[in-house]
Structure 1
Amino acid sequence: MSYQSLEEINELCREQNIPFWRAVLKDDMNERTVSEEESFLTMEGMWNAMLSASEDYDERLHSSSGLVGGIGGQMERYRERGDTLCGDFVSRVIVQALQMGESNACMKRIVAAPTAGACGVIPAVLVPMYKEGHIDREQIIQALYVTAGIGQVIASRAFIAGAAGGCQAEIGTASSMAAGALAFLKGGDNEQIVHAAAMALKNLLGLVCDPVAGLVEVPCVKRNVIGAVNALSAADMALAGITSQIPPDQVIDAMKEVGESMHVSLRETGEGGVANTPRAKEIVARLGK
């Protein structure tokens, strides 16, 4: 991808009077030497895979470690009681995030968005909106271009791997991507898109990557929930006209600085954080790790 900043994307949008998603589409067409139709088909394939992953969730499955499985169904039954603190839509988002994260841990097909460990964040906010009829397929595909543009800039300026920058680089980036997509889908302009992305990422600065027993299960699955709910709140703030006092690209740069400052034990090594608790050590011993 040729864009090195969110401001660069928005500058092109201003010059050509186009929406954020189209600027990303044009770049994909140029980079891969494909037509608009071919680019759309590729993105539609991503969406179809997300939908299939959502529909194929099986709460009877458990990961090989036994640490993950069934909680997506458990949350769904709680939501169906109708008395959740978060309300129906946000509860649907929570359900989707858990189910997608569990599917990943159970080795089912998912879409790394931007990573497998953060695969539940973007579908968690987009699938419920789509299934409830709030948006159509074309809008979804356009929103996915928004997520792609944000994710690519973050990957270029910082990182998206927990081993490089902690979980802020995975769940934080996914949340940022999702927030931008949500702002777009609710009619936000290009500036609101990038400010939603900035606020979502800023809210998760410093989030460590501390997988118990080195598995992408605990606390990874449940962190997909906070990434999704954080995206909702950041998008709503942006749509209300609230902006990030720190420019979006500078927030990304700050994330890189924080990630590089993290001790190695907090970057996917399974040596620090919750991975270093007594309970985690018991799990490691049980699994023969």
Structure 2
Amino acid sequence: MDFKNAKELLRLCEEQNLPISEIMRQREIQVGERDAAETDKKMARVLEIMKEAACSPIQHPIRSMGGLIGGESKKLSEHFASGGGLCGELLEKAMIYAMATLETNASMGLIVASPTAGSAGIVPGLLLAFQKVYEISDEAIRQALFNAGAVGYLAMRNATVAGAVGGCQAEVGIASAMAASAAVELMDGTPKQCLDAASTVLMNMLGLVCDPVGGLVEYPCQNRNAAGVANALIATEMTLAGVPQLIPFDEMLEAMYKVGKRLPAELRETALGGCAATPSACEACHLCH
């Protein structure tokens, strides 16, 4: 069940007549040398942590260690509850959960890096929103997480998920690709549609820089997690509607990697450019003087 790229993954799905999630689950069992029960138990723990990280700050906001964020998810939740929401229930909830997870991370809470701490809100944000709106079981969400894991694995094997290497397109971009692929499978899409959605996400986020204010994983990271779930949902919708994707995931991943390596150092997590270098950002973090 091992695979090195998306082309091999799709071939396995076709040969075994299995979705991406189950191919990845079987790979984890075989390569990790664990039995099915232990593998499923570990994924259940992942989902448990994700739920806590995505929900706790909505009720009990905590200020981040750097003081740049805290309470944003509760504000969004209250805005939506008051009838002021503009994006619809699915996207509203996804944004709330995504931003809450970043609050948990920035206050030294327990999160699942999916694939990184700075992009940790996107996969749980979108999947937990789908669960809430469509009343999807924990079992189905756990299975979808294996799908997301397959996309993250391909990115780590063949490119990067590090902002210091590839910019925010490699962190938020890959996280959004993971979320989109998993969401397509949740909505009964084919393996090819899953990876088409992931490719669309990377296309739409190509060139996104990594410019954390004060070098902290707080701002604009939290806002970009909200934008990431929106991007993932857009790609999911387009793919399920039958909008074609010209560029396969393997090629788009390679393109993202090449673009990332060409970004100047100031735009790859050094906090020396972009948002981090603005006067207001320097004043807010007190680290640039």
TM-score of the superposed pair, with normalisation by structure 1: 0.96
Query: Which residue matches 1:20?
Result: 20
1-side partners of 2:271 and 2:43: how far apart?
Answer: 34
2:100 aligned with 1:99: yes
Give the drift of 1:173: 0.4
Read off the aligned partner of 2:231 and give its amino acid letter: N
> Hey, what's the Cα distance between the residues in 2 that align with 1:226 and 1:75?
14
Report 1:133-152 matches (<5 A). Answer: 133-152=134-153
TM-score, normalising length from structure 2?
0.96
Q: Which residue of 1 aligns with 2:215?
A: 214
CA contact under 8 A between 2:167 and 2:267: conserved in structure 1? yes
Instruction: Decide which moves more: 206-215 or 73-82.
Output: 73-82
When structure 1 is superposed on structure 2, of 78-87 and 259-268 the one drifting more is 78-87
Match runs of 1:28-39 below 5 Å: 28-39=28-39
Partner of 2:49: 49
Q: Which deviates the most, 129-138 or 248-257?
A: 129-138
Q: Which residue of 2 aligns with 1:112?
A: 113
Offset at residue 88 of structure 1 (A): 2.2
CA shift, 1:137, in A, is 1.3
Question: What is the percent sequence identity of the aligned residues?
Answer: 39
Equivalent-residue separation in structure 1 for 2:2 and 2:215 (angstroms): 34
State the Cα distance separating 1:133 from its structure 2 match. Answer: 4.9
C-alpha distance in 1 between matches for 2:258 and 2:85 = 38
After superposition, residues 41-190 of structure 1 pair within 5 angstroms as 41-57=41-57, 59-190=60-191
Q: What SS does structure 2 have at the residue aligned with 1:104? A: helix
How far off is 1:135 after superposition?
1.0
For 1:257, the equivalent position in structure 2 comes to 258
Q: Structure 1 counterpart of 2:216, which letter?
A: L
Distance in 1 of aligned mates of 2:281 and 2:124: 29
Please report how far the alpha carbon of residue 39 of structure 1 lies from its aligned counterpart in structure 2 after TM superposition: 1.2
Residue 232 of structure 2 corresponds to residue 235 of structure 1: no
Q: Runs of 5+ in structure 1 lacking a partner? A: none
Q: State whether residues 155 and 174 of structure 2, in contact with CA within 8 Å, keep that contact through their aligned partners in structure 1.
A: yes
List runs of 5+ in structure 2 lacking aligned partners.
none
Q: CA deviation at 1:82?
A: 1.4
Task: Report the Cα distance in structure 2 between the residues aligned to 1:185 and 1:60, rounded to whole angstroms.
Answer: 30
C-alpha distance 248-288 of structure 1, shift in aligned 2 (>3 A):
closer
Q: Is the deviation greater in 198-207 or in 49-58? A: 49-58
Distance 1:288 1:157 in 2: 35
Equivalent-residue separation in structure 1 for 2:60 and 2:169 (angstroms)? 28
Aligned residues: 288
> Match of 2:218, as an amino acid?
E
3-state SS of paired residue (1:265): helix
CA deviation profile, 1:236-272 (whole Å, cap 9, x unmatched): 1111112211111100000000001000110000001
RMSD: 1.5
In the alignment, the residues of structure 2 paired with residue 60 and residue 204 of structure 1 have an alpha-carbon distance, to the nearest angstrom, of 29
SS at match of 2:207: coil
> d(CA) in 2 for partners of 1:59 and 1:221?
17
